[in-house]
Amino acid sequence: MINKEAVKKILIIKLRGIGDVVLSTIVLDNLKIDFPDSVIDYLTDPPSKAGLEGLESVNQVITFPRKFVDRFKLINQIRKQKYDLVLDFYSNPTTAQITFLSGAKYRCGFPYRGRRYAYNLSGPSERGRFHSAKLHLEFLRLIGLSHEKENLYSHISDDDKIFAENWIERNIPVNTSFFGISPSGGWQSKKCDPDILANFGAEIIKKYPIKALILWGPSDHDDAVEIKKLLGDSAFIAPSTTVRQMAALISNCKFIVANDSGPMHISTAVGTPTLSIHGPTDPALQGPFGDKHEWINLAELDCIICNLLACPKMHECFRDLPINRVIEKVDKLIIKNKLQF
């Protein structure tokens, strides 16, 4: 068991996509219960740094280097910090090695094969049993820490809020309600076809007095332009943004329709009601976290939740998804969040 009074410095390790890192922030409020005076640092990939910097509970964000030679410098940097507790929520061979060499008294990770040597406390070994956010809470439970708080975080600075407010004021007419459409997705197979997203958007606009704001990242620009072209004057296309500026725009949406993606998880973290559309991924594990949100997939499709990076078929999981089912989910989202336009 962990001697809580002895823990003054904590390192959280979480690599991979922005959405994965957002889900890991569920531990922050819980750690502050057990270690109220502790310093909490993060080790993560560069794209996730902006959403963590500025969070009240996070002291500093260390970025994981891609060059192999720089990882030796990283290990030395971590050892000098003299962490008391390292929580390796990624637990691949490299982060296991970093944890092992950290010098921390308490080294915690998932007990995956070939990595158990690195840890003296372990999270759950089961995969596919818990939602990706809840998995972190189960991890805390198993190592004897508080695990009741379920808040997610993605930082938005005052400058980001001002950026979003100014852009909206200049580009969207006063008293116009708008919802977000996000075509982003880490894998090509997770990305709903832009014409299908436009169809969903058109039906929402037909039913409700609302317009669409199309949000995009660098790899989604062409899809965003196509959606805007199909929706015409019923939609606005967001400008090029940083991750935090996008989060600020999302926070101004009545709700958002998104693929399983970083923007989808950011939306849940900033409190915007979210409808996620799933094909290859399991919404029970990767869907929007929290009761105020909804998800949809074509459950009866024989290849649904295939977890393939590229679709070997015709993207039926999105193209055959009945539009009336999507609208029913939007209706539910609006009703339970008491949204008004």
Ordered by where they begin, the domains of the chain are 4-142 (3.40.50.2000), 158-336 (3.40.50.2000)
For the cut 80, the answer to whether the pLDDT of residue 145 exceeds it is yes
pLDDT of residue 128: 83
Chain segment 243-289, per-residue pLDDT in tens? 999 999 999 999 999 999 999 999 999 999 999 999 999 999 999 99
Contact criterion met (CB below 8 Å) for 281 and 305? yes
Q: Name the pLDDT band for 127 (thresholds 50, 70, 90).
A: confident
Chain segment 158-197, per-residue pLDDT in tens? 999 999 999 999 999 999 999 999 999 988 999 999 999 9
| Beta bridge mates, 256 | 180, 274
Chain segment 315-328, per-residue pLDDT in tens? 999 999 999 999 99
Render the burial of 125-156: b for 16+ CB within 10 Å, e for the rest: eeeeebbbbbbbbebbebbebbbeeeebbbbb
What global pTM score does this model have? 0.96
Chain segment 57-96, per-residue pLDDT in tens? 999 999 999 888 899 999 999 999 999 999 999 999 999 9
Average pLDDT of 95-121? 96
For residues 125 and 127, the model is more confident at: 125
